């Protein structure tokens, strides 16, 4: 591994933490629906990078662009014990699939290698630093994420491979659908700040009011 390359990558890693401050609890047991659309920035030519393997096959389809929408400050009752969940981020055609993964603290993520070449998954993010070493097709290694924040994931062998893992201490978040729409889990009544995250930074914020038994539609335009 080349130390200077890792230092350079570390300087670029997004370390902005996902906010997990407590807010006053809403009315006991009362919840509402919070949904909307996060207008993602227009696609660029950098969304798709060619693979080194199988160069004669047709170009791979681009991964669907997604964002993550979440409450910046969660209601106090949202802070539960870490979950014992499991998620998966595959390595396929020299791409991390999915490119964006949103999880709760306590979640273990498996990193299987589905390529016929070696990969070496690692992260220098303060939220969770790890280095899984090189491993071949058919093998998988795992990492548990116990702190909230943003984790940038890379492959030490293939510099064009990268992904994001967003770790939350609460459950009020959602990965957008291909058309940008989202819906959070039932939210306790109250006033909150809603954030729209995309490719390493928060692109939009909006204050929302959630009322008992009602649906709040909160679209997040990107300037």
- Whole-number pLDDT of residue 178: 87
Structural domain boundaries in the chain: 3-41+63-217
Residue ranges of the chain whose pLDDT lies below 50: 1-5, 7-27, 45-61
Q: How far, CA to CA in Å, does 222 sit from each of 17, 41, 60, 204?
A: 20, 7, 28, 6
- Whole-number pLDDT of residue 43: 63
Is domain 3-41+63-217 in CATH 2.60.40.420, yes or no? yes
- Whole-number pLDDT of residue 6: 54
Q: State the Cα torsion 132-125-21-219 to the nearest 10°.
A: -100
Q: Are 39 and 182 in contact (CB under 8 A)?
A: no
- Whole-number pLDDT of residue 170: 93
* 48 vs 208: CA distance, rounded Å: 35
Q: Which residues contact 149 (CB under 8 A, 6 or more apart)?
A: 15, 17, 18, 125, 126, 127, 128, 166, 167
DSSP H helical segments within 73-116, as ranges?
none
């Amino acid at each position: 591994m080349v130390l200077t390359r890792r230092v350079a990558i570390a300087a670029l890693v997004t370390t902005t933490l996902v906010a997990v401050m407590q807010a006053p609890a809403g009315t006991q047991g009362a919840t509402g629906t919070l949904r909307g659309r996060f207008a993602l920035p227009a696609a660029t030519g950098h969304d798709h990078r060619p693979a080194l393997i199988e160069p004669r096959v047709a170009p791979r389809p681009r991964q669907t662009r997604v964002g993550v929408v979440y409450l910046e400050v969660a209601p106090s009752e949202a802070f539960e014990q870490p979950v014992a969940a499991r998620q998966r981020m595959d390595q396929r055609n020299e791409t991390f699939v999915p490119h964006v993964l949103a999880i709760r603290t306590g979640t273990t993520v498996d990193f299987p290698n589905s390529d016929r070449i070696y990969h070496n998954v690692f992260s220098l993010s303060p939220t969770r630093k790890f280095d899984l070493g090189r491993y071949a097709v058919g093998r998988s290694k795992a990492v548990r994420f116990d702190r909230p924040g943003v984790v940038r994931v890379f492959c030490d062998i293939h510099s064009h491979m990268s992904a994001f893992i967003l770790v939350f201490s609460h459950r009020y978040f959602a990965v957008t659908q291909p058309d940008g729409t989202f819906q959070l889990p039932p939210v306790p009544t109250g006033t909150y700040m809603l954030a729209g995250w995309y490719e390493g930074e928060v692109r939009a914020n909006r204050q929302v009011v959630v009322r008992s038994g009602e649906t709040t539609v909160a679209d997040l335009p990107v300037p």
